[in-house]
Structure 1
Amino acid sequence: MRVVIADDEPIIVMNLKEILEDSGYEIVGTASNGFAAIDLCKEHRPDILILDIRMPGLDGLRTAKFIHEGGYVDTIVIESAFDDEEFVQKAGKYGVSAFMVKPIDAKTLVSTLKVATVRSKELRSLRSEVIEVNKNIEARKKLERTKGLVMDKLNLSEQEAYNYIRGISKENSISMEFVAEILLDCLLDEK
């Protein structure tokens, strides 16, 4: 697992780096502020980002939000000296997989990273499934709309309109979705 550590306290960075390297993680970069963390994550696309919540310039929460929205890292873990419920709530909204309170010991860090990584993968898989389902729904809507326009334009039954679209698809070895898209565009231009 490839890791970026972002914390403005060099001693904490050294401690985290030592724990992680001893546990088999690869540290691909360290940063002392949010801007540098974003740059490292864009460049290296690590598996994990460990991020201090309070850093100069751009704080950890806003950094996490930007990195999550950009899809630059799979798992974001926030570390903080403060156990503030408001921070925890915001962290969850900004794509953070885990929140650890300093000081952090080796067992807690490694265990937290393992669980957070599993949860991040599950969420990513669910998001992909939702995207795929939405694509299929949109394709089906497009096909249904096209079928309705073909029915009106060519005075066909629903089954005949479907067969018409399917016939074009088979004849040209292209998907029905693509045929529907083209026909829809052509039929709407005629109106």
Structure 2
Amino acid sequence: MRVLIADDERAFATTFADLLRSCGHEVVDVVFSGLDAIRSYHRHRPDVVLMDFNMARLNGLTACRNILSSDPAGRIIFLTGVSNAADLDPLLSGAIASLRKPIKVQELEDVLRNLQGGPAAPAQADGK
């Protein structure tokens, strides 16, 4: 799957990109602001955008809405450190899902597998 990562925490974004590559995904770009996410999306047309909700220069919500206004078929998943799920409803933004940081590898793989139309892996008892 072709993935664009947008997160203003550079260390997280770089490590996350390495993790996705090790899982067999193609990371088309890693950017650090919502504005750069919009530009990179239009340049690369990834299968999915994994985007931090709270970023400098343009937050994830605004970037998501901008991308989807020009490409309604775009698929965006929010990454968030927000502890209260009620604070972030992906349906209100047009995003297809949100994942809470720290990201669990199995949860991420399940979401990406579902996007590709494959069967979800069985969940482990501890949720990891």
* TM, length-normalised to structure 2: 0.83
Query: Could you say what secondary structure the match of 1:46 adopts?
Result: coil
What is aligned with 2:28? 28
What is aligned with 1:83? 83
Q: Is the 8 A contact 1:41 1:72 kept in 2?
A: no
Change (3 A) 1:93 1:57: same
Change (3 A) 1:73 1:23: farther
Alignment of 1:161-180 (within 5 A): none
Q: Which runs of 5+ in 2 are unaligned?
A: 118-128
Matched, 1:109 2:105: no
Moved more, 54-63 or 64-73: 64-73
Give, in whole Å, the separation in 2 of the partners of 1:10 and 1:3: 16
What is aligned with 1:40? 40
Change (3 A) 1:63 1:3: same
Change (3 A) 1:43 1:73: farther
- Report the Cα offset of residue 54 of structure 1: 0.5
Query: Could you say what secondary structure the match of 1:109 adopts?
Result: helix
Counterpart AA for 1:103: P
Counterpart AA for 2:93: Y
Alignment of 1:1-191 (within 5 A): 1-71=1-71, 74-84=74-84, 85-88=86-89, 91-116=90-115, 118=117
Instruction: String of CA shifts for 1:37-94, please: whole Å, max 9, x gaps.
Output: 0000001110010000010011001111111111176310000000331321xx3122
Q: 4+ residue stretches of structure 1 with deviation over 6 A? A: none
Change (3 A) 1:10 1:66: same
Change (3 A) 1:48 1:77: same
Q: Is the 8 A contact 2:67 2:74 kept in 1?
A: no
Instruction: Compare the two structures and name the one with the higher helix fraction.
Output: 1
- Report the Cα offset of residue 117 of structure 1: 5.1
Q: Is the 8 A contact 2:80 2:100 kept in 1?
A: yes
Instruction: Compare the two structures and name the one with the higher strand fraction.
Output: 2
Change (3 A) 1:5 1:72: farther
Greater relative contact order (Cα < 8 A, sep 6+): 2
